Amino acid sequence: MKASAKKTETPAMLARRYLKLVEWSDADGCFVGSAPPIIGPCCHGRTEAEVMAQLSTIVEEWVEVMLGDGHPLPAGTAGKKYSGQFVVRIAPELHKKASLKALARGESLNQFVATALAEV
């Protein structure tokens, strides 16, 4: 979305295009909110609902500031579809190590990496 958003689209309407994440942080002992690519961790609170309310306001304000400054808005993330495929470039040594570990487990490299990512 370019800075020249339709005049009928308010910052609140445009802010709905961004996925808002509320996650528990063991390090902080509270819920933390972010909305990449608009803003990283930016608010915290005792409940998910409290953080989501703060985060929604913050994202709306950031959209308003970006538009006011003439900056293009990043592509929306809410409802984005994912193909399930991506390419990762790693050092040949790491590729070899992962391949050997997968082989030792009787798994394909794809299965090994998918399992490792699921644990993140």
Q: Which CATH architecture has domain 11-68?
A: 2-Layer Sandwich (3.30)
How far, in Å, CA of 110 to CA of 69, rounded?
44
Taking the complete model, does pTM exceed 0.85, yes or no?
no
Cβ–Cβ under 8 Å, residues 33 and 20:
yes
Question: How much is the pLDDT for 82?
Answer: 87
Give residue 1's pLDDT: 46
- Per residue of the chain (120 residues), give pLDDT as tens: 445 555 689 999 999 999 999 999 999 999 999 999 999 999 999 999 999 999 999 999 999 999 999 999 999 999 889 899 989 999 999 999 999 999 999 999 999 999 999 988
d(CA 34, CA 12): 16
Number of H helices, E strands in the chain: 4, 3
Tokens of 114: 């998918």
Whether cis (ω within 30° of 0) applies to the bond prior to 41 is no
